[in-house]
């Protein structure tokens, strides 16, 4: 059952808990380097940005694992 604390957490605005200065990578960053950044910083995803620091996408550890198992040649 849902507790009052759970409801309060779900009603919290995203800006209150977001990372203000996230670690980012560029589109040309290698999968190997992205993997190292994830592990070294104990994080699960990396925003991918362009030259204007606009977000183009996100890569997660699951994306990398999936790629390494099913698509890597």
At 50-66, the pLDDT tens digits run: 999 999 999 999 999 99
Tokens at residue 67, please?
A: 């790629």
Which whole number is the average pLDDT over 25-48? 97
> What stretch of H or E contains 67?
helix 61-70
Cβ burial of 2 (10 Å; 0-12, 13-18, 19+) is: exposed
Q: Is the pLDDT of residue 7 over 90?
A: no
By DSSP bridging, strand 25-26 and strand 45-49 are: parallel
| pTM of this structure | 0.79
């Amino acid at each position: 059952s849902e507790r009052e604390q759970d409801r309060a957490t779900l009603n919290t605005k995203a800006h209150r808990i977001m990372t203000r200065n996230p670690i980012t990578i560029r589109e040309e960053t290698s999968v190997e380097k992205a993997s190292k950044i994830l592990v070294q910083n104990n994080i699960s995803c990396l925003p991918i940005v362009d030259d204007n620091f606009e977000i183009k996408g996100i890569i997660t550890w699951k994306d990398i694992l999936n790629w390494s198992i099913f698509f890597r040649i």
